[in-house]
Chains A and B, each alone.
Chain A
């Protein structure tokens, strides 16, 4: 870095080229990956590139994406939530049981299940900040615990492993319009969840990059001790992030039960890793302090395109997870390479 007299507009900023500016963005690698995946499957199958096809893979991507955004924010804050997937089930089951079995008003049930989810998120965050144990362990406990509660309570109340008939509950119609309706574009029906996904991404990205809270998230994940020393409320930030993840789980879980009228007791199990995969493909560092909400969304998009693309290309979908695994490794390696290149070239 050279020292010259300060000018109001620093001419040296132009030397940091456009390409380099893009490369240092955490989501850049994922964007390239998404384009490659899209072009690949678009060549393989004409259904994939049709409006109907797009509606289909965007739908798959949206359910992952709505969760991947807060999960990415949590990862930037330095933590995992392994209970994120099973929490979607808890939220949907809670709403379902309260409305169909206990006869509670739909909106009241939604509020109660939201409070329940906020409580779960708070417990996760509180235990992590209070004990100082890795969030991996704390949320693994929560994951197993909720898995048991989901199945146990559902069986106790319904004598089956699912909660159904939400579509017969008064007030269902309005809910369906908001969470489970479709919008026709070019003859294809796009799920409204895709819009919600976009909204979550925009809000998440805004919070991360443009607010004080966002600054605290990066700081808490980057160096919690240093942040504490300059007055960042790291414990509060962590707890809020866990509660945010639980809020998204509430949203996704209720979207599921509203859309289909039915929800299985095992729903969401295993999804937590998919959210983390999307966040990592999107450029999140496992060690925290680095990542992006847009990246997580692009990661979810790649996931959705691959899952549906394999079906449209006529391949055996049993092999799907192999592709996801390979893509995860590829993305991490690409991200690492890109980051190193970008950091070196800055000096």
Chain B
């Protein structure tokens, strides 16, 4: 999908903005609350006492570098792993997910990086893959093509994506569009809370922008979103809450009003630590240079003696 500016003044957007205000006003129990969750693998503490909340109609961003524990965090929320300590509360009630299916049934859908789509197949076939609507009776049951195409088109346009041809193979879509199909699919199959695993990491600047727009769309439709990323510049514009992870520990769980983008970036990069590293590199580099020079001179002398 090329970013066509006409998309912005679609009439539907006004309605959802109203919806957003309504949803954001409610002060009830959060959609999902994570309380001091800890996960250990043997003696390795992968996550240590992580807490945050996700409300309907809000985006909670989980930021962290490689090895920060982001994947463990996702897997706990999506029911792949069970936490060793702490608890998850859905609508204020404690829950345990022993399988991904149970998380799905609670309305928590995870869109993993590989998106679980078959490139050679049409969009509508992918959309309903594994949950095909059927019509007819007994052995004459068949894939309800019309319904599948209609719902695909509708769900996509509700997300603000207008697809030309649902028969188009998914492989011919751009990365951002593919992401949007996966999100629309999760929403259609009853997701109230979307977990997006690095949806912008493999994309170019423009495509990443498109995906961010879909995140906003999902939020404006009243869904809770957990947006996993390592890019504060992607997270800050769309996020309402920011959970920062580093080496399995929480560096803080901030509302947007409590933190600015430079502060967020600073925390992400490890601020003071980075500065120290820069100095070390500078110094180290200088020494190394002298060392290399020494070796070069030695070599030169050696060759002379040989001659």
Q: Decide if A1 touches B11 in the complex (CB within 8 Å).
A: no
Interface residue? B162 (CB, 8 A): yes
Q: Decide if A16 touches B165 in the complex (CB within 8 Å).
A: yes
Interface residues of A in 100-149 (CB under 8 A from B): none
List the B side residues contacting A285 at CB < 8 Å: 120
List the B side residues contacting A218 at CB < 8 Å: 118, 120-121, 125
Q: Decide if B129 touches A6 in the complex (CB within 8 Å).
A: no
Closest CB in chain A relative to B195 CB, distance in Å: 14
Closest CB in chain A relative to B172 CB, distance in Å: 5
Stretch at the interface among B130-138, B276-284, B295-303: B130-138
Interface residue? B95 (CB, 8 A): no
Pick from A5, A12, A212, A289: contact of B121, CB below 8 A.
A289
Q: Decide if A219 touches B118 in the complex (CB within 8 Å).
A: yes
The proximity string for A residues 197-233 relative to B, scoring 1 for CB distances below 8 Å and 0 otherwise, is 0000000001000111011001100110111011110
Which chain A residue lies CB-closest to B189?
A230
Interface residues of B in 35-75 (CB under 8 A from A): none
Q: Decide if B118 touches A212 in the complex (CB within 8 Å).
A: no
List the B side residues contacting A232 at CB < 8 Å: 129-130
Q: Decide if B120 touches A10 in the complex (CB within 8 Å).
A: no
Complex Cα distance A231/B101, Å?
Answer: 10
Pick from A12, A16, A227: contact of B130, CB below 8 A.
A227
List the A side residues contacting B169 at CB < 8 Å: 343
Complex Cα distance A87/B120, Å?
Answer: 31
Q: Decide if B120 touches A222 in the complex (CB within 8 Å).
A: yes
Interface residue? B268 (CB, 8 A): no
The proximity string for B residues 149-166 relative to A, scoring 1 for CB distances below 8 Å and 0 otherwise, is 000010001001111110
Interface residue? A326 (CB, 8 A): no
Interface residue? A13 (CB, 8 A): yes
Stretch at the interface among B1-9, B82-90, B259-267: B1-9
Complex Cα distance A285/B120, Å?
Answer: 11
Q: Decide if A2 touches B2 in the complex (CB within 8 Å).
A: yes
Given A219-B118, A226-B115, CB of A210 within 8 Å of CB of B129: no
Please report whether the interface of chain B is mostly helix, strand, loop or mixed according to DSSP: loop
Q: Decide if B172 touches A346 in the complex (CB within 8 Å).
A: yes
Interface residue? A3 (CB, 8 A): yes
Given A222-B121, A229-B116, CB of A1 within 8 Å of CB of B1: yes
List the B side residues contacting A214 at CB < 8 Å: 143
- Which of A12, A206, A211 has the most CB atoms of chain B within a 10 A radius of its CB? A211
Given A212-B134, A222-B121, CB of A5 within 8 Å of CB of B11: yes
Interface residue? A4 (CB, 8 A): yes
Q: Decide if A4 touches B145 in the complex (CB within 8 Å).
A: no
Complex Cα distance A222/B126, Å?
Answer: 11
Given A210-B142, A343-B172, CB of A1 within 8 Å of CB of B164: yes
Interface residues of B in 156-191 (CB under 8 A from A): 157, 160-165, 168-169, 171-172, 177
Given A1-B164, A227-B130, CB of A211 within 8 Å of CB of B2: no
Complex Cα distance A227/B131, Å?
Answer: 11
Q: Decide if B117 touches A3 in the complex (CB within 8 Å).
A: no
Given A2-B4, A215-B132, A218-B118, CB of A10 within 8 Å of CB of B145: no
Complex Cα distance A16/B163, Å?
Answer: 13
Closest CB in chain B relative to A119 CB, distance in Å: 23
Interface residue? A290 (CB, 8 A): yes
Which chain A residue lies CB-closest to B7?
A3
The proximity string for B residues 191-230 relative to A, scoring 1 for CB distances below 8 Å and 0 otherwise, is 0000000000000000000000000000000000000000
Complex Cα distance A347/B121, Å?
Answer: 15
Closest CB in chain A relative to B188 CB, distance in Å: 13
Closest CB in chain B relative to A14 CB, distance in Å: 11
Complex Cα distance A229/B113, Å?
Answer: 12
- Which of B130, B131, B177 has the most CB atoms of chain A within a 10 A radius of its CB? B130
Complex Cα distance A3/B143, Å?
Answer: 29
Q: Decide if A1 touches B129 in the complex (CB within 8 Å).
A: no
List the B side residues contacting A6 at CB < 8 Å: 153, 157, 162
Closest CB pairs A-B (n = 10): A231-B130, A222-B118, A230-B130, A229-B116, A212-B132, A3-B7, A289-B120, A226-B116, A223-B118, A3-B4
Other A-B contacts than A3-B6, A6-B162, 17 sampled, CB-CB below 8 A, are A1-B164, A2-B6, A2-B164, A13-B164, A13-B165, A206-B142, A210-B142, A211-B141, A211-B142, A211-B143, A212-B143, A215-B125, A219-B125, A223-B118, A226-B117, A229-B116, A231-B130
Q: List 12 A-B contacts (CB under 8 A).
A: A1-B162, A3-B7, A6-B162, A211-B142, A212-B132, A215-B132, A219-B125, A219-B130, A222-B120, A226-B115, A229-B116, A346-B168
Interface positions of B (Cβ within 8 A of A): 1-2, 4, 6-7, 10-11, 112, 114-121, 125, 128-132, 134, 141-143, 145, 153, 157, 160-165, 168-169, 171-172, 177
